Structure 1
Amino acid sequence: MSYTIGIIGSGHIGRALATHLAKTNYRILITNSRGTASLTDLVASLGGSLTAADFNQTIAQADVLFIAVPWTQLPDLASEVQKYSGKIMVDATNNIVSASPFQLADTAGKPTGEYVAALFPAQRVVKAFNTLAAATLAQPSQTSLGNTVIVISGEDADAKKEVAEITKAMGFEPVDLGTFRQGGHLQDVGGALSGIEFIKVKR
């Protein structure tokens, strides 16, 4: 299916996502809070299908949006996106609010995917791309055995299938963990799958 994909955020995770998405056949827009001029070098270095865009253009035109902003910026982003509906939101965030000292935001026991989905009630949220360190995500292991796994969870089965197809186009192997309650905690910081690179071996 033909999509326009938007990346919101150009930090380490946003850049890692852009590295792989730029190699696909999708139209890719990337935006940040500093404006398109700040993205000139990134777009020039990655090339491919990647284009810098302003925030409103990215939100309006993208069918699928990758969220790669700090956790504390999510409420403001949700406010900006609320005038739209039905977009697939790929939540690549973790609830880290401080690195030193290390501190996680309280999600009242909910998996972060479920928490984020509640902020975007009119969108189709899929949790993915949050378990790998940015450096690993940018440069996953190269092996003939198979591809690096990206685990996903969410309530919308069709949205997960579409995200899985994009994930494959990026060169990864998607593994569906089920709903947020079934798989979300496994993805979150401190969960069994957090920070570990898995390779799905080809048969």
Structure 2
Amino acid sequence: MTQTIGMIGAGLVGKAVARLAVSAGYHVVVSNTRGPESLAELARELGPLARAGTVEEAIAAGDIVILSLPLASFANLPANAFAGKVVLDQTNYYPGMGGFHRADLDSGELTSSELMQRQLSGARLVKGLHNLSWLHIASNARPEGSPERTTLPIAGDDNAAKGAVTRFIETIGYDVIDAGALAESWRIEPGTPIYFWRYAPHVPEGVSGDEAKRIYQQPGRPVSKDEARTLIADATRPSPIGGTLEGMPQVHIDLFLEQASPETVKG
């Protein structure tokens, strides 16, 4: 039976996942806070397997509901609508962005996905597809059996939900490794060895801006399952906790500003 993916958030990351999903044969309902009308062009681009809907429609339709939005917006989600749903959490904690800070995240009392699970208490939440850029979500995907296929980590407390998310991520182009429970998901958050940098290609110093952009949009070197296990096991909790824009390469920021919509840039 064909499954449906409910997408909440249609920024660069959400669009990249939606494109992979429809290419793999999934139905997709895309949504955002501005309403279906703002996504009509995207739905047409994605083709007959996709349609635009409200956030509530995306949740109701989704066999898996993907959160591809800023963590700071967690409290605005219709929490009761997620009861029983498998939720793939792509959010990351970037303290200070949009003025968003939380003491329980800064202290390590909670991981960001534990916070999201607490908010969506009836959901079956899995952290994943959060640790590489929209560019590399698209460029690193490979069919099963390809020697260039790379490995992504997930974390969660519900084994059946992790199985569903694993099958989805495998189908759209990646191998998957289980990094443990949500309490251990700090091992795959910003500032850890398996977050972001390992999936991006190296851009040599001294190249022109256009050449840097060309190189940066290429696939990174594949991560094997064994390497992913080692990166996760060897992780130490970052201090301070959370990501920073200063930690991103300038070419990444330049491409983001070029490709993001004005609404995304404004947050």
TM-score (norm 1): 0.86
| 1:96 lines up with 2:66 in the alignment | no
SS at structure 1 position matched to 2:192? coil
Corresponding residue number in structure 1 for 2:80: 82
**Which segments of 5 or more consecutive residues in structure 2 lack a partner in the other structure?**
200-220, 226-267
CA separation in 2, counterparts of 1:142 and 1:24? 11
Q: In terms of mean alpha carbon deviation, does 155-164 or 173-182 score higher? A: 173-182
Question: For the pair shown, which has the larger CA radius of gyration, 1 or 2?
Answer: 2
SS at structure 1 position matched to 2:173? coil
CA separation in 1, counterparts of 2:70 and 2:142? 29
1:187 partner amino acid: I
Corresponding residue number in structure 2 for 1:156: 158
- Aligned residues with identical type, % of pairs: 25
Corresponding residue number in structure 1 for 2:25: 25
Shift of residue 160, structure 1, vs aligned partner: 0.2
- The structure in which a higher percent of residues are strand is 1
Supply the RMSD in Å over aligned alpha carbons: 2.4
Preserved CA contact (<8 Å) 2:71 2:92: yes
Q: Aligned ranges for residues 2-151 of structure 1 at < 5 Å? A: 2-47=2-47, 49-77=49-77, 80-98=78-96, 105-106=102-103, 107=105, 108-109=107-108, 110-140=110-140, 144-151=146-153
Corresponding residue number in structure 2 for 1:188: 189
Preserved CA contact (<8 Å) 1:155 1:180: yes
Shift of residue 155, structure 1, vs aligned partner: 0.5
Larger RCO, structure (CA 8 Å, separation 6 or more): 1
- For the structure 1 residues 58 and 170, does the alpha-carbon distance in structure 2 shift closer, same or farther, using more than 3 Å as the test? same
TM-score (norm 2): 0.67
Preserved CA contact (<8 Å) 2:3 2:26: yes
Shift of residue 111, structure 1, vs aligned partner: 2.0
Shift of residue 70, structure 1, vs aligned partner: 1.1
SS at structure 1 position matched to 2:170? helix
Corresponding residue number in structure 2 for 1:199: 222
CA separation in 1, counterparts of 2:57 and 2:70? 21
